[in-house]
Amino acid sequence: MSKLGLSQDIIEACRKDAKVIATQVQSHIDLHTTVSVERALLRMLGVDGVNELQVPIVNVVVDHVLKKANLSKGICHYLSYACHEYMLTPNEIAHKVSSGSIDLSIYQASPKSPYLSDIMPYFEKTLARIDQMKETRKSWINRTPEKTTPHKYVIVATGNIYEDIKQAISAVKKGADIIAVIRSTGQSLLDYVPFGATTEGFGGTFATQENFRLMRKALDEISESEGRYVKLVNYASGLCMPEIATLGAIERLDMMLNDSLYGIIFRDINMKRTFVDQYFSRVLSAYSEIIINTGEDNYLTTSDAFDQAHTVLASQFINEQFAIKAKMKPSLMGLGHAYEIDPQVENSFLYELAQAEMAREIFPDAPLKYMPPTKHMTGDIFKGTVQNVLFNITAVTSHQSIHLLGMMTEAIHTPFVSDRALALDNAGYVEKAFKNFGDEITYRPDGLIVKRAHHVLNQAKSLLDDIRRDGMFKTLEKGTFAGISRKEDGGKGLKGVFIKDSCYMNPVLDLMLKRLEVKHHAS
């Protein structure tokens, strides 16, 4: 039952505008592919490993086609011909391409491949592995006591996967429900995925398949001893978004940060590239039942959280529609927002509560990801602790889903184990003390909280009208989100975008969409 009395007509109008915006972008997506999508297809065909220079084989093969042939026909065109002619697996073909003993360019002038059936069993094998991971996750969750309070989300970021595992285990023992492994600074700008276990990262740990496997194994072991399933998070944003989403699905990650707008705005990745990458990644995440996390919370680290709150809501509406285009159900749409209003603002707590309640009411089935205060953390650990208490109260009161814990040492250093332990104690105390507080209170219809929520919703509707008129590309050029302008043909990765040839094939994307559609109708 609504506490805020928000206009359902305005909410529906926002969704209609957001759908038009997403459909405009989808018309671009449907016509294009990228190097990272094609590398993800190779990974789903079972291609793995690196060459003697430690370059991933998937990069070697795609770069080979780029240099000597026409990638717009899609990697499946070339691999299906080669697998049929040589009667080898895609992985064997790829390694022979790397060694120079097979040249895929000989198939460039060939008609649309009639040999798709030669590679489909390898896609099916990967999808069967992902299906197994889904069943394993469901089994764990069914054995885990259901929580009625937000899931406590804790970050590890040592740079060394083995040290990350130690810190993750200590956090789980103190009550963490979700472990997120932060990527090394700059990895989102690498146009390849590092290989193997890594021990040297700056500000985080490299996202690799082996690192995913190691952390998943460690969390499964501690889940068994603690009697509850601990979820694992990593980042599928950046230039390798589709590949990392693929590796996460194969190794049973449970959540992945996946938002093209974040990459465009904060990493200057070309918008034409990353919208295409996001679509493939989200279809895969929908199929794999991986919760995505979007990046709206980051807007407020560069924009004023009081004045620009409506941009967060507008982006949430748009991200919801992008997810729907990818056949994603609401329970997987981890839309983001944050507690970032300047604490010097009078009644800042009430404004934060209004924003959190509004998001919860508008997106009732979404596992909202609520971010802690960071922008206005000064290094005063005592004031920081109070700020985090207020944030924790808001999270519990407004029934947030994914509760990223705030650190009292924010703005000082990467958190120590002890800092995380104190954050978990803080959140645990508030979780118990305020457990049913939100169910016990109502808001005055003429009060500040209700008026603020209505005001932000109306502003979001006006902004969505503008975005629908201008289009998403022009909106991003105007710097509407986070006050940062990006050019349609600027940023990193544009050279990796291609218009699909009439021979282009992406059979695994088609298969996932078909299965998701069947599942949707069955439910």
Whether 267 maps to a domain, the answer reads no
SS3 state at 179: strand
DSSP string for residues in 222-236: HHHHHTSPPEEEEE-
DSSP string for residues in 185-230: TTGGG-SS---S-----SSS----HHHHHHHHHHHHHHHHHHTSPP
Say what the pTM is.
0.96
User: Tell me: the pLDDT tens digits for 349-359?
Assistant: 999 999 999 99
Which residues are catalytic, by number? 262, 297, 369
What's 411's DSSP letter?
Answer: T
Query: Residue 199 and residue 206: Cα distance in Å, rounded?
Result: 8
Whether 132 maps to a domain, the answer reads no
Go through 51-77 and write b for each residue having 16 or more CB atoms within 10 A of its CB, e for each that does not. Answer: eeeeebbbbbbbbbbeeebbbbbbbbb
For the record, the structure tokens of 307 come out as 């004045």
Which helix (H) or strand (E) covers residue 337, if one does? strand 336-338
Contacts of 306 (CB under 8 A, 6+ apart): 341, 342, 345, 351
C-alpha distance from residue 333 to each of 144, 200, 222, 432 (Å): 21, 32, 27, 27
Structural domain span for residue 189: 149-234
- Strand 333-334 versus strand 336-338 pairing type: unpaired
* Helix, strand, coil share (%) of the chain residues, nearest 5: 55, 10, 35
Counting the structural domains of the chain, the total is: 1
Per-residue pLDDT 10s for the chain (523 aa) are 789 999 999 999 999 999 999 999 999 999 999 999 999 999 999 999 999 999 999 999 999 999 999 999 999 999 999 999 999 999 999 999 999 999 999 999 999 999 999 999 999 999 999 999 999 999 999 999 999 999 999 999 999 999 999 999 999 999 999 999 999 999 999 999 999 999 999 989 999 999 999 999 999 999 999 999 999 999 998 999 999 999 999 999 999 999 999 999 999 999 999 999 999 999 999 999 999 999 998 999 899 999 999 999 999 999 999 999 999 999 999 999 999 999 999 999 999 999 999 999 999 999 999 999 999 999 999 999 999 999 999 999 999 999 999 999 998 988 889 999 999 999 999 999 999 999 999 999 999 999 999 999 999 999 999 999 999 999 999 999 999 999 999 999 999 999 999 999 999 999 999 999 998 888 7
Whether 189 maps to a domain, the answer reads yes
